[in-house]
Structure 1
């Protein structure tokens, strides 16, 4: 038996998928394979992404090698695997039934010992991975270590009460599909979160991460003590910034897996984590499997 995980999306999504696969492989005491074929034919409507997992200190680096196979003329990996499942000895295909939902059934597969299993989805629920948190804290660090550019910000974080603020705009504003599905959070959400932290820690220094720093510098009040994180041009900048986030004491995350990981991997578990009460445009979505109960939700 082998567990194969279909990887899609940016680094935050890749981390969720890898973590889910690792937890599942350990549960069944079997091997984990990673399918990164999505990145070779990125859908035109999606945000441009690249495979970034290798920038992290992950212990499992077994990727499916490019190969000729049945149904190779079909571009969709999910459809291809579904068709292959009808072949003798084909994999059992599992497609995530519901986003941001913990599906206990994946840990009780009837055919776990006799067939290979292929999983496609995002698997963004902390219950899948809570048991391996310590392992993930060790693996989800930059393989090359924190570089000098970000070490400077880390030294500032360690010298005063520090709070991370992540403002994601970019594709949430300018890419129609992402803007409609996710949508950027309001400035009111961020300011309410910052004031809440200041009530607890008046001397807090805020460290703001964003893909749109000019907008942030123009719109965030100047009376807050804010250090804006200039993005490095290093190839592993995403991995560097998620790791840098974990050194803060308090967190105001965006509706983004990127800052979700910064907060979940945090080194100080006693601080405040503030999250939006909506993750996507559908405000009726139940977020209890995505956002731990001790994370405080604010209107967004």
Structure 2
């Protein structure tokens, strides 16, 4: 049995599900979802219930099978983390007993590949490398199924019949929540204009579809010199926006796991994705982020 803890917003939950699903497939084990983090301190809820997931909610009896996290050994913080993870992985391979595997750092943890037996996953797992081997399954299960409402169906048809470019603008809590100040890079209108023109390069008649939690800011600050539609009618239905994003032919994403998935779910060969090279602000500037980007994406 694989249990994965879901937490955070829509994009974070997708990363967690994807990692858990890939591990469950590799080990031929059932997947369980731990939803005990919801609602969280920011009022976020489990957001994937309308998707065709292949998992059930874990029971309290199943959770009791997993031992508590062991105390960290002495030494530097990084060394303690690595030794703790290595110890847990080795112990699981020896005994075959359940273990809790906590993500040791932001970049890809190769110890994930050596997990066996019953595993509880606790982390964010923000790298395609955790689920690349199961990408087709993950994409199918994290794509909102039809039918759509009439307005979204009409917009989807427009997107598919045009030289469409999706643009995601994340502001909201990044800008207005003081607890997040300095955690994420703030992307300027100039950055969006530059990235949008790069993404549209070579298109005969590009049409931009902009998705944002601050549509008024978009209308007041962004002009790409081509037709632009601000998609703002899916309030409270983020998966509907994500599906529309994935239908666009090219993508400009924000430093946001939500738009990461909007672009990644476009599984057509040769999809063009422009992503910010600077993902984090000064408080997280030392994080290694190379594993965050799929190999074919362009950073600017």
Q: Is the 8 A contact 2:7 2:13 kept in 1?
A: yes
Deviation at 1:176, TM superposition (A): 1.5
State the Cα RMSD in Å. 2.5
- For the Cα contact (< 8 Å) 2:196–2:224, is it kept in 1? no
Q: Is the 8 A contact 1:141 1:240 kept in 2?
A: no
Q: 1:64 aligns with which of 51, 58, 62?
A: 58
Task: Give secondary structure in 2 for the equivalent of 1:207.
Answer: strand
Hey, what's the Cα distance between the residues in 2 that align with 1:98 and 1:56?
A: 29
Pairing 1:1-300 to 2, within 5 Å after superposition: 2-40=1-39, 42-43=40-41, 47-60=42-55, 62-65=56-59, 81-82=68-69, 91-99=98-106, 101-109=107-115, 112-113=116-117, 116-143=118-145, 145-221=147-223, 223-233=225-235, 237-281=237-281, 282-298=284-300
Tell me, in whole angstroms, the C-alpha distance in 2 between the residues paired with 1:104 and 1:164: 33
Superposed CA deviations along residues 158-185 of structure 1, whole A, max 9, x for unmatched, are 1210000000000101112223312432
| TM-score for both structures, normalised by structure 2 | 0.83
Q: Shift in Å at residue 202 of structure 1?
A: 4.0
TM-score by length of structure 1 reads 0.83
1:74 counterpart residue number: none
Contact in 2 for aligned 1:81/1:118 (Cα 8 Å): no
Q: How many residues align?
A: 274
Change (3 A) 1:216 1:58: same
Structure 2 residue runs without a partner (length 5+): 71-87, 89-95
Q: Are the equivalent residues in 1 in contact too, given 2:143–2:265 (CA < 8 A)? A: no
Q: Give 3-state SS (helix, strand or coil) of 2:101's partner.
A: strand
For the residue of structure 1 that corresponds to 2:162, the secondary structure is coil
